[in-house]
Amino acid sequence: MLQNTQFGMSGPSVPATSISPDFEIVTTAPRVALAVTPHPDDCEGGCGGALAKWVKEFGTEAVVVMCTNGNKGTSERDMTPETLAATREVEQRAASDIVGAKDIVFLRHPDGGLEDTMLFRSQVTRAIRQYKPDLIMCIDPYRSTSHTHRDHRMSGQVALDAAFTYAWSYQHFPEQITEEGLEPHMVEQAYMWGSESPDVFIEIGDYLEAKTLSLEAHASQMSPATTEERLSRISNNATRYKDLTGIEYTEGFRRIRFGLGNLDWQLLYS
């Protein structure tokens, strides 16, 4: 969450400590992408350019799972958590409209209160089974040289666990299948933003404005600045991999291929 900063993304940029020489410039898009994000504004800052591009150019169905209500994201002492939560939900709807998201799932956990519980795992699993993404997106929960917000770590970890451990198996949360009519689903891969070790990159030059405007929709989190000033900061941040990739503006992610259903997986679970 931005909490009245001017970074134009989910906090200050994370230094990439190691980038694989086998990195990939991704030019394809998923059929369905599900972004599991801790606070309103984190998704737009982390993967807003990629989502906007995929929706417009490839017809990707983008879904946002909003884990918390963002009710602590302010330095204004006279702002009540209830008022802020309501405000940020409206802001998130506006931001998602700009990116082109098909739907938003509001879980409404308290800001700073995400825990790796069976309830939270079941909620993310339900979203995966409902929307059937081939790709999930989340914050990289693992850091070696820096630290990040607890909600960021919890949301990233639970997103990965829901995809790899729970969503594909009818043995986990079976009531979602027997009572809600959902079916198990295998997610193919995950893209994690905010990573120290990105290995896939997406060119977003034509979508910097959409990324900027989607972040501006989170007005409660914005410091005074013009759209042009924010666009300049976001554009500058998007050049941090230019020397490596040879592309002016990108978003970078660490990729995990889950391999669910392949031979190694079948041997592991047989």
**Domain annotation for the chain: domains and CATH numbers:** 26-269 (3.40.50.10320)
Higher pLDDT, 4 or 153: 153
Q: What pTM was estimated for this model as a whole?
A: 0.91
Tokens of 217: 């929709």
Give me the mean pLDDT over the 182-203 stretch. Answer: 97
Average pLDDT over the chain, rounded to an integer: 91
134-170: per-residue pLDDT in tens? Answer: 999 999 999 888 888 999 999 999 999 999 999 999 9
- Residue 6's pLDDT is 32
Give me the mean pLDDT over the 39-49 stretch. Answer: 96
DSSP states along 136-156: EEEE----SS----HHHHHHH
Of the ranges 10-24, 62-76, 113-127, the best mean pLDDT one: 113-127
Residues whose CB falls within 8 Å of the CB of residue 182, separated by 6 or more in sequence, listed in order: 126, 129, 130, 176
Does the pLDDT at position 9 exceed 60?
no
Contact 202, 250 (CB under 8 A): yes
What single-letter amino acid sits at 183? E
- Residue 270's pLDDT is 57
Using 50, 70 and 90 to split pLDDT, how confident is the model at 174? very high
Return phi, psi of residue 264, to 5°.
-60, -40
Does the pLDDT at position 193 exceed 60?
yes
- Residue 146's pLDDT is 85
Give me the mean pLDDT over the 6-18 stretch. Answer: 49
In percent, the amount of the chain with pLDDT more than 90 equals: 80
Contact 7, 233 (CB under 8 A): yes
Higher pLDDT, 79 or 158: 158
Does the pLDDT at position 11 exceed 80?
no
- Alpha-carbon torsion, ordered 98, 69, 38, 181, to 10 deg: -90
Angle (CA) 219-220-225 rounded to 5° is: 50
* CA dist 201 → 8, 191, 247 (Å): 19, 10, 9
Angle (CA) 152-13-39 rounded to 5° is: 30
Tokens of 196: 């120290």
DSSP states along 71-115: TT----TT--HHHHHHHHHHHHHHHHHHHT-SEEEEEEEPTT---
- Residue 78's pLDDT is 87
80-107: per-residue pLDDT in tens? Answer: 989 999 999 999 999 999 999 999 999 9
- Residue 89's pLDDT is 96
- Residue 1's pLDDT is 46
